[in-house]
């Protein structure tokens, strides 16, 4: 008796259960049977093509574009690839228009470098760079949310803080890259109302109680909104360097696929930051601005080309 062909084996597979699915929706593991015996079928979508002609045809076939939201130059949609008529949306599209050279650099492949930012480098080079970025209007979309001009239907929580100061308020909203349905890939953002904290560098020992309050409120709100999630299934972290210089905390499910944005050299755990501040020598003004931080930057990033590379070469930036 001839062994069945590959095509015959796949055709004879009788699906019983979806066993697993990756968070990007590209890979599924199916449990079923072939001729009465249990079988696993693991299917993964092919990568996007790289030639422009095929990509242009792919773009031309996109249909049923549904607007999920927009804010300033950022827009996000659901759409269908046109593979099967009437099929549910199988694409999530983010559109940045008009985009800047910085956006193009961010989304282009580049080598990364590990750098150590001392307190002196921060004060002499990085802080002025942050000020420049803020002065260029790159926070308009953040202020649109905080001031109620955009994305208000997406705000999950507005917390006034501990009540001692209006500066202690924050809001909680879904991250733009979360599909808002897959709980194991949950990704929320907590944005502070105050404008004086640009990054974790501005955190001081005197902020510990505020940070603890914010952490407690974030976790409480998240487990109430998504009852299937327990408090010990949440991970809170802060990026450094962040994409934008207005203090915010990332909230993700512990099973969320760990991309480079959660890696060592990018993500700093909120609880670890709080502990570091608590045990820091000095009074309430003792600050994260006084410590050295090691992280990675892309070699097309301005931080590398304008600051760290010249410093490496012994030149002033």
d(CA 204, CA 220): 24
DSSP state of 48: P
Q: How many angstroms from the chain centroid is the CA of residue 190?
A: 12
Contacts of residue 293, Cβ cutoff 8 Å, sequence gap at least 6: 116, 117, 122, 201, 240
Catalytic residues: 248
Q: CA–CA distance from 105 to each of 99, 297, 301 (Å)?
A: 11, 12, 7
Paired tokens of 146: 């905080």
Paired tokens of 250: 């990332």
Phi/psi of residue 154, each to 5°? Answer: -95, -10
Unique residue bearing structure tokens 């803080």: 161
DSSP-derived 3-state class of residue 113: strand
Contacts of residue 92, Cβ cutoff 8 Å, sequence gap at least 6: 76, 77, 78, 79, 179
Are 233 and 219 contacting, i.e. CB atoms less than 8 angstroms apart? no
Alpha helices in the chain (DSSP H): 6-12, 52-60, 101-106, 119-121, 127-135, 140-146, 208-225, 270-279, 302, 309-312
DSSP-derived 3-state class of residue 298: strand
């Amino acid at each position: 008796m001839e062994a069945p062909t590959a095509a015959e084996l796949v055709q004879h597979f009788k699906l019983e259960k979806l066993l697993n699915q990756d968070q990007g929706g590209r890979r599924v593991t199916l449990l079923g049977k072939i001729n009465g015996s249990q079988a696993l079928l693991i299917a993964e979508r092919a990568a996007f093509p790289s030639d422009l002609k095929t990509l242009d045809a792919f773009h031309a076939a996109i249909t049923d574009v549904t607007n999920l939201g927009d804010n300033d130059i950022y827009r996000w949609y659901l759409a269908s690839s046109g593979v099967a008529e009437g099929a549910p949306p199988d694409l999530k599209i983010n559109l940045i228009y008009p985009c800047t050279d910085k956006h193009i650099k961010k989304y282009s492949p580049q080598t990364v470098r590990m750098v150590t930012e001392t307190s002196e480098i921060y004060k002499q080079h990085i802080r002025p760079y942050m000020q420049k970025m803020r002065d260029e209007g790159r926070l308009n979309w953040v202020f649109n949310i905080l001031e109620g001009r955009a994305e208000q239907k997406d705000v999950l929580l507005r917390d006034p803080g501990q009540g001692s100061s209006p500066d202690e308020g924050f809001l909680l909203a879904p991250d733009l890259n979360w599909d808002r349905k897959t709980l194991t890939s949950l990704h929320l953002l907590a944005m502070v109302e105050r404008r004086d904290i640009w990054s974790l560098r501005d955190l001081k020992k005197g902020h510990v109680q505020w940070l603890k309050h914010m952490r407690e409120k974030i976790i409480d709100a998240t487990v109430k909104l998504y009852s299937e999630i327990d408090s010990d299934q949440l991970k809170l972290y802060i990026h450094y360097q962040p994409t934008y210089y207005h203090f915010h905390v990332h909230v993700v499910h512990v099973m969320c696929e760990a991309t480079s944005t959660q890696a060592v050299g990018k993500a700093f755990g909120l609880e670890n930051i709080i502990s570091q501040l608590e045990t820091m020598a000095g009074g309430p003004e003792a600050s994260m601005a006084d410590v050295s931080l090691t992280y990675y930057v892309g070699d097309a990033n301005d931080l590398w080309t304008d600051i760290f590379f010249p410093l490496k070469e012994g030149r002033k930036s």
